[in-house]
Chain A
């Protein structure tokens, strides 16, 4: 546990400095005159984003190992010396905030740090970890980007920039076990972000954003330990594994807060870094997980505002920056599976010999949807097809899907419908009243609502598993509930709300997580355990070029190159050349190749 906390301190040190560097570069590029005070958590997330972008280029040429760690550390130290004044000022602000903050909040923050360290220490139990996440991270750590790894297992076609970050901060070179704790650290960053608002409430600063920032994280404070839960939303498996569902959801919320924060700023496109930072975040989030694509609506709105204000130079630079963030990620996806975006069979425009057979891409695409609806009904080859898209109409699968949703998700579902009806009514009324002309304040609300609705629609049609959609659904519902509570209670002292939240934290930290302390005491100075090595045998594909074929359905920590048995039999991967670095292709591929 202590090792995890030390790793978090190290990661935060790097991320904070690189976050300052990113903010500096964005200010210089877009000629923003003032130095804005960003929240500590946002600076650290800036740093994670910047590191991830640099690594997305690095990984195209070399593995992410000790050398990458030394590079990132060196860059952080250079950032400190280059931006000494700014860093010291930010640290000074941070210390002042800590001194001024309520002591009870600091007690709870440290308590939850211990809770998350204990949870992050637990072995991963996420179903996709042993099959996809851990093997992908292992490939990045040992070889970097290798052409055609998806031919070993189609799931390796998934390319998230979060995995390069996990590979860096997995510290594999220590040979002690996988430090699988970035999601836990992100939890703490967002908890800190929320706690600043709770502190403001306790001090009587009543504003809608303070209410929203205090409430949005409350459903995540309680994590459940079993397979499913009727009331709680997130399982600990999201924090024991390197899943990208957590960063895309959490950082999406940060973007929404930054966007709502624009309503309170004057002359925002001339003097604030936020619009530009948001666009960078949005482009990066698409490289973390594709379901962040609807956030491009916000990006387009910001870009459109720059054009309206005749800031053509900034608009062009912003587009170039956004595209620049996407290019290395797309290049790695092409190297992994031969497609520009995975799993997206429609974008089959490249003719490379390592391209994954299109049947596998379709199968993966269909299995995401069928598994989300009901794998028992739609898990057969008829529906999870490798030859055509899932085409069962919504009115046919909806009753089956609805019958399986649990209590809390049905509440979220009906709240979403109710809020949408209210929003559409409000939109019509405002349009008629203002004759289709919206002030910036209302425009921001409308654009955010449309983004959330687009995200919900994408989630519903492409894979309606609730955990995929919490980024949109949860924010949508909590935004609406906060608006109602704020309307009713904003004339009363906000300290009472703050105290109620502290009671909520007390129950979580002292009672709900009390079971963890027994296990945590034994693991205080123990390093994380190594991942399991499943049973495997070696297959010689010719001239001593070996592939390790696992008997189960997941490679987990098996030595590379590895392929699960059932996948190997279907894809029949072979080496493209003589070394692993040259990559793999499938003998099932339809692209003609010459035998080497």
Chain B
């Protein structure tokens, strides 16, 4: 192949591959969104799904979770959640603004059928404990020695 032909082939190949990749990625993202949106067939006698939670219910759910940090929470009518712990508010924001983290939250929501704010809190709480482990130091008390069964 001549030198100029090779360059032309290279440019055309790169352009074709780039266009193909953009279209393929776009298609894949659209298909994923379609799959998320797909309605499951209604089943008579199935367990009732709670579609709406009040702010108090969500806060109660969070407070009864093992990952609860002991802070006070306010949930506004637009769904925004604010903690009395300033540092934790930063962690909550980091979860909400990260696509990867929100993917994890949405997949947890699908699994546990619990509201968005609850799942955001749980994930953020795990990150917070990793970021500030000194706030959660736990030690075995000397007298908690059990006998083997």
Nearest-Cβ distance from residue B32 to partner chain A, whole angstroms? 9
Known: A487-B6, A488-B10, A489-B6. A227 touches B146 (CB 8 A): no
Tell me whether A397 is interfacial, beta carbon within 8 Å.
no
Tell me if B145 and A538 are in contact (CB < 8 A): yes
| Closest B residue, CB atoms, query A556 | B133
- Our pick among B10, B24, B98 for the contact of A226 (Cβ within 8 Å) is B98
Tell me whether B56 is interfacial, beta carbon within 8 Å.
no
A-B contact count (CB 8 A): 79
Known: A540-B145, A540-B148. A485 touches B100 (CB 8 A): no
Which residues of B100-132 are within 8 A (CB) of A? 100-101, 103-104, 129-131
Tell me whether A379 is interfacial, beta carbon within 8 Å.
no
Tell me whether A574 is interfacial, beta carbon within 8 Å.
yes
Tell me if A407 and B25 are in contact (CB < 8 A): yes
Tell me whether B41 is interfacial, beta carbon within 8 Å.
no
CA distance A494 to B148 in the complex (A): 70
- Our pick among B101, B138, B144 for the contact of A534 (Cβ within 8 Å) is B138
Tell me whether A396 is interfacial, beta carbon within 8 Å.
no
Tell me whether A536 is interfacial, beta carbon within 8 Å.
yes
Tell me if B148 and A574 are in contact (CB < 8 A): yes
Tell me whether B53 is interfacial, beta carbon within 8 Å.
no
Known: A125-B130, A407-B25, A407-B28. A537 touches B137 (CB 8 A): no
| Closest A residue, CB atoms, query B138 | A535
Nearest-Cβ distance from residue B9 to partner chain A, whole angstroms? 6
Nearest-Cβ distance from residue A543 to partner chain B, whole angstroms? 11
CA distance A536 to B139 in the complex (A): 7
Tell me if B147 and A533 are in contact (CB < 8 A): no
CA distance A532 to B129 in the complex (A): 9
Measured between beta carbons, the chain B residues less than 8 angstroms from A574 are 148
Tell me whether B3 is interfacial, beta carbon within 8 Å.
yes
Nearest-Cβ distance from residue A310 to partner chain B, whole angstroms? 44
B 2-13 binary contact with A (CB < 8 Å = 1; else 0):
010011011001
How many B residues are at the interface, by size bracket?
A: 20 to 34
Nearest-Cβ distance from residue B103 to partner chain A, whole angstroms? 7
CA distance A269 to B139 in the complex (A): 60
Tell me whether A388 is interfacial, beta carbon within 8 Å.
no
Measured between beta carbons, the chain B residues less than 8 angstroms from A533 are 137-139
The interface size of chain A toward B, counting residues with CB under 8 Å, comes to: 37
Nearest-Cβ distance from residue B104 to partner chain A, whole angstroms? 5
Known: A407-B24, A488-B10, A538-B140. A532 touches B147 (CB 8 A): no
| Closest B residue, CB atoms, query A226 | B100
Nearest-Cβ distance from residue A206 to partner chain B, whole angstroms? 13
Nearest-Cβ distance from residue A481 to partner chain B, whole angstroms? 10
Tell me if B25 and A228 are in contact (CB < 8 A): no
| Closest A residue, CB atoms, query B5 | A488
Tell me if B6 and A410 are in contact (CB < 8 A): no
CA distance A489 to B136 in the complex (A): 58
Tell me whether A103 is interfacial, beta carbon within 8 Å.
no
Measured between beta carbons, the chain A residues less than 8 angstroms from B21 are 411
- Our pick among A224, A410, A548 for the contact of B28 (Cβ within 8 Å) is A410
Tell me if A224 and B133 are in contact (CB < 8 A): no
Nearest-Cβ distance from residue B24 to partner chain A, whole angstroms? 7
Tell me if B145 and A539 are in contact (CB < 8 A): yes
CA distance A542 to B144 in the complex (A): 15
Measured between beta carbons, the chain A residues less than 8 angstroms from B6 are 487-489, 491
Tell me if B7 and A228 are in contact (CB < 8 A): no
Tell me if B133 and A532 are in contact (CB < 8 A): yes
Measured between beta carbons, the chain B residues less than 8 angstroms from A491 are 3, 6
Nearest-Cβ distance from residue B144 to partner chain A, whole angstroms? 5
CA distance A548 to B138 in the complex (A): 13
Tell me if A230 and B25 are in contact (CB < 8 A): yes
Which residues of B63-104 are within 8 A (CB) of A? 98-101, 103-104
- Our pick among A410, A411, A535, A540 for the contact of B146 (Cβ within 8 Å) is A540
Tell me whether A358 is interfacial, beta carbon within 8 Å.
no
Measured between beta carbons, the chain B residues less than 8 angstroms from A230 are 25, 29
Measured between beta carbons, the chain A residues less than 8 angstroms from B144 are 537-538
Tell me if B104 and A227 are in contact (CB < 8 A): yes
Which residues of A517-536 are within 8 A (CB) of B? 529-530, 532-536
CA distance A225 to B98 in the complex (A): 9
Nearest-Cβ distance from residue B6 to partner chain A, whole angstroms? 5
Measured between beta carbons, the chain A residues less than 8 angstroms from B147 are 539-540
Nearest-Cβ distance from residue A402 to partner chain B, whole angstroms? 12
Tell me whether A97 is interfacial, beta carbon within 8 Å.
no
29 contacts between A and B (CB under 8 A): A123-B131, A225-B98, A226-B100, A227-B100, A227-B101, A407-B25, A407-B28, A411-B21, A485-B10, A487-B6, A488-B10, A488-B13, A489-B7, A491-B3, A491-B6, A532-B129, A536-B138, A536-B140, A537-B144, A537-B146, A538-B140, A539-B146, A539-B148, A540-B145, A547-B148, A548-B140, A572-B148, A572-B149, A574-B148
Given A123-B131, A488-B10, A538-B144, 20 other A-B residues pairs in contact with their CB atoms under 8 A:
A225-B98, A226-B99, A227-B100, A227-B103, A227-B104, A228-B100, A407-B28, A411-B21, A488-B6, A488-B9, A489-B6, A491-B3, A533-B139, A536-B138, A537-B140, A537-B146, A538-B146, A540-B147, A541-B148, A572-B148
Top 3 nearest A-B pairs (CB, nearest first) are A226-B100, A488-B10, A227-B100
